[in-house]
């Protein structure tokens, strides 16, 4: 199973240039989304037919704090004028949406808040997504980002055969 | 994998009622719960909001919580609805149920009432607001908080059903809760999708949504488990599907791809055909973008034979993360009582749009219904609920 991570505090712009470089929407994303985007780039770079719409791949995101860092940025903007661009990223599942839009995944997407990283709990929840009649693989992201320079970000790609 | 998932109890709190009885009356009579803000300290007093007609102080009194204790309104609404669901289901505490509770606002109401220097939003995040509910009841084995915007509660039911189906849990209490907050009222306003008038889903003149709040929970278990402990199935959760629209963060695709795929999956999981569906509780927000997209998805799935459809958001407002479970309970009440709720605010269809049911109508023969909940990020969920005989 392919597993990747991004060191806390790493230079995300440099990673973006190395991994993608052709997706300007990246610059609008909050840190949480940037992490999810980059983890997915690492996981699926070798996929054949990468940008053709597929329904058989799920994107499942887990965290403890959700989008808390961006929540604070948006709340600060409310003092002046609430920023729609920041508001969008106060939704923890925008990360799965960004990954799905980038890669044209029309499969299941979800975002769960749990009480801290637990591979056992996450594996159990990921397994349930394979009950879906079409799911054959899932991008799984753990991205906890309490502030813009501190995070725990890891991802892995699960295929149906890995569950046996 | 052959277990049928049943709903053995439900609880609901929204602008149209506290509890099943009031809610049923409002749905049958088409009583709207939209009114200017009474509890949310907003300056936008011109906006219709779907507030639950109880203050936090009143809810604490009903729940036996000391007034001095700080609790998020999201948690209080949830406690009210969970309590009703547990009362109907009977004592399930010995089975150590999992608690799956969708929310996106969480305890933001507490954070935004604090002076900035005293704010500790991490203490009032989504997980904390679910945990507070679990702690109040004291017997849940685990707490999981789906946070997928307006499909959060629907995804809680989807996950709960799968955990039952897979035999990983004997009993699950699943649903969602969301209180109104300045945080998301201002956010939705900044996206220019809040209507200053009562919303008009599927109408040609629709100009946006009204925000609402509330909570609803269901007790899920396998049919055999419910019967073995002498509980009565109130309805069945026979199908569920989630798909990503993968089009835009805050807008639905013109062809309703995500909605189409989600509904298709829900019907497939239930082992049914589109012709078996007797009603669809639409997501139907009343925004210029949602309703044509959802209409298109319905037309793609059902062709010329689209079953009766209504959006109940003209009664409750859009209860965001809680809408999936609130409207699922509306569907259960409709199936149990042989009627379909009306689509308040509708008078004239737009070109290419579906024509919803205007007012509540009798429908004693409907056996299977779909309940749609779509969230930003293209997160589209459909639940298939069947009548218990």
B368 is catalytic: no
pLDDT-based confidence at residue B1 (cuts at 50, 70, 90):
very low
Whether B160 and B38 share a structural domain: yes
| Domain end (from B197, B228, B259) | B228
Is-contact B13 B81, C-beta < 8 A? yes
Half-sphere exposure of residue B345: CA atoms within 13 angstroms, side-chain side: 30
- Out of B184, B225, B283, B368, the active site residue is B283
> What digits encode the pLDDT tens for the residues A129-146?
999 989 999 999 999 998
Among A75, A93, A113, select the one facing B149 at the smallest CB separation. Answer: A93
Whether B209 and B257 share a structural domain: no
Among A83, A106, A121, select the one facing B190 at the smallest CB separation. Answer: A83
Instruction: Measure the CA–CA gap between B200 and B212, rounded to whole angstroms.
Output: 14
> What digits encode the pLDDT tens for the residues B38-90?
999 999 999 999 999 999 999 999 999 999 999 999 999 999 999 999 999 99
Judged by average pLDDT, the poorest of A3-12, A13-22, B111-120, B208-217 is B111-120
Percentage of chain B with pLDDT > 90? Answer: 96
**Number of independent structural domains in chain B:** 2
Instruction: Measure the CA–CA gap between B19 and B65, rounded to whole angstroms.
Output: 19
Whether B224 and B329 share a structural domain: no
Whether B15 and B116 share a structural domain: yes
Whether B28 and B89 share a structural domain: yes
Q: Which residues in chain B are closer than 8 Å to A132, comparing Cβ atoms? A: 241-242, 265, 269
Whether B319 and B358 share a structural domain: yes
> What digits encode the pLDDT tens for the residues B312-331?
999 999 999 999 999 999 99
Whether B319 and B363 share a structural domain: yes
Q: Of B187, B215, B216, B210, whose CA–CA distance to B376 is shortest?
A: B187
**What domain range is A20 assigned to?**
2-163
B234 found inside a domain: no
| Domain end (from B198, B228, B258) | B228
**What domain range is B160 assigned to?**
5-228
Whether B217 and B246 share a structural domain: no
118-147 in chain A: CB under 8 A from chain B: 121, 124-125, 127-128, 131-134, 146
Instruction: For residue B344, give both structure tokens.
Output: 């308040």
φ, ψ (nearest 5 deg) of residue B44: -85, 70
Rg (chain A; Cα; Å): 15
B150 is catalytic: yes
The average confidence (pLDDT) of chain B is 97
B318 is catalytic: yes
Q: Which residue carries 């295929």 as its tokens?
A: A159
11-70 in chain A: CB under 8 A from chain B: 53, 55, 59, 64-66, 68
> What digits encode the pLDDT tens for the residues A62-83?
999 888 888 989 998 988 889 9
Whether B133 and B34 share a structural domain: yes
Instruction: Measure the CA–CA gap between A52 and B256, rounded to whole angstroms.
Output: 18
Q: What ipTM was estimated for this complex?
A: 0.95
Whether B51 and B103 share a structural domain: yes
Quick one: average pLDDT of B29-37? 98
Q: What is the pLDDT of residue B119?
A: 83
Q: Of B39, B66, B8, B64, whose CA–CA distance to B332 is shortest?
A: B8
Among B104, B112, B163, select the one facing A91 at the smallest CB separation. Answer: B104
Q: Compute the count of residue pairs across chains A and B with CB atoms less than 8 Å apart.
A: 165
B235 found inside a domain: no
Quick one: A163 exposed, middle or buried, by C-beta within 10 A (0-12, 13-18, 19+)?
Answer: exposed
Q: What is the CATH number of the domain that holds B23?
A: 3.40.47.10
Contact assignment for A113 to B127 by CB distance below 8 Å: yes
| Domain end (from B176, B195, B228) | B228
Whether B170 and B53 share a structural domain: yes
Q: From the CA of A143, how many Å to the nearest CA of chain B?
A: 14
Among A92, A98, A128, select the one facing B147 at the smallest CB separation. Answer: A92
Q: What is the CATH number of the domain that holds A96?
A: 3.40.47.10
Is-contact B152 B102, C-beta < 8 A? yes
**Number of independent structural domains in chain A:** 1
Quick one: average pLDDT of A85-96? 94
Contact assignment for B244 to A74 by CB distance below 8 Å: no
pLDDT-based confidence at residue B2 (cuts at 50, 70, 90):
low
B312 found inside a domain: yes
Predicted TM-score of the model (pTM): 0.97
> What digits encode the pLDDT tens for the residues B238-282?
999 999 999 999 999 999 999 999 999 999 999 999 999 999 999
Whether B224 and B244 share a structural domain: no
Q: What is the pLDDT of residue A69?
A: 86
Quick one: average pLDDT of A87-112? 96
Q: Answer whether A108 touches B (CB < 8 Å).
A: yes
């Amino acid at each position: 199973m392919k597993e990747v991570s991004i060191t806390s505090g790493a230079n995300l712009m440099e990673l973006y240039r190395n991994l993608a470089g052709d997706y300007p929407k990246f610059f609008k994303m909050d840190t949480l989304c940037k992490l999810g985007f980059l983890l997915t780039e690492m996981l699926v770079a070798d996929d054949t037919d990468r940008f053709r719409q597929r329904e058989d791949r799920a994107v499942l995101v887990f965290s403890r704090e959700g989008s808390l860092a961006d929540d604070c940025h948006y709340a600060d903007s409310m003092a002046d004028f609430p920023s729609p661009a920041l508001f969008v990223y106060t939704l923890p599942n925008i990360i799965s949406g960004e990954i799905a839009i980038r890669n044209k995944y029309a499969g299941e997407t979800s975002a769960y808040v749990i009480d801290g990283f637990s591979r056992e709990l996450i594996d159990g929840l990921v397994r349930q997504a394979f009950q879906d009649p079409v799911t054959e693989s899932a991008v799984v992201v753990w991205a906890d980002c309490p502030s813009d320079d501190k995070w725990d970000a890891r991802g892995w790609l699960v295929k149906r055969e890995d569950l046996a | 994998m052959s277990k049928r998932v049943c709903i053995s109890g439900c609880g609901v709190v929204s602008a149209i009622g506290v509890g099943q009885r009031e809610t049923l009356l409002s749905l049958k009579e088409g009583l709207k719960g939209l009114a200017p803000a009474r509890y949310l300290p907003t300056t936008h007093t011109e906006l219709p909001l779907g507030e639950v007609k109880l203050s936090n102080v009143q809810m604490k009194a009903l729940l036996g919580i000391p007034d001095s204790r700080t609790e998020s309104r999201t948690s209080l609404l949830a406690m009210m609805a969970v309590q009703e669901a547990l009362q109907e289901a009977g004592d399930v505490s010995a089975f150590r149920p999992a608690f799956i509770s969708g929310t996106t606002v969480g305890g933001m109401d507490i954070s935004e009432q604090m002076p900035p220097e005293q704010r500790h939003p991490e203490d009032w995040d989504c997980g904390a607001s679910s945990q507070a509910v679990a702690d109040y009841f004291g017997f849940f084995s685990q707490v999981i908080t789906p946070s997928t915007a307006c499909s959060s509660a629907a995804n809680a039911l989807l996950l709960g059903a799968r955990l039952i189906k897979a035999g990983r849990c004997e009993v699950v209490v699943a649903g969602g809760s969301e209180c109104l907050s300045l945080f998301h009222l201002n956010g939705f306003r900044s996206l220019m999708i809040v209507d200053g008038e009562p919303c008009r889903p599927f109408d040609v003149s629709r100009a946006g949504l009204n925000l609402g709040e509330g909570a609803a929970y269901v007790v899920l278990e396998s049919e055999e488990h419910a019967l073995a402990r002498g509980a009565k199935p109130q309805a069945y959760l026979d199908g569920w599907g989630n798909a990503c629209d993968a089009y835009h963060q805050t807008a639905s695709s013109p062809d309703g791809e995500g909605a189409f795929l989600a509904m298709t999956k829900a019907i497939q999981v239930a082992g049914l055909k589109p012709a078996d569906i007797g009603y669809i509780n639409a997501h139907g927000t009343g925004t210029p973008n949602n309703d044509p997209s959802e209409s298109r998805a319905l037309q793609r799935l059902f062709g010329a034979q689209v079953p009766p459809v209504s959006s109940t958001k003209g009664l409750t407002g859009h209860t965001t993360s809680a809408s999936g479970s609130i409207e699922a309970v509306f569907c259960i009440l409709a199936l149990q009582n042989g009627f379909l709720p009306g689509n308040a605010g509708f008078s004239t269809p737009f070109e290419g749009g579906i024509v919803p049911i205007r007012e509540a109508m009798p429908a004693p023969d409907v056996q299977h219904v779909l309940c749609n909940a779509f969230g930003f990020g293209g997160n589209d969920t459909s639940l298939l609920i069947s009548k218990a005989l």
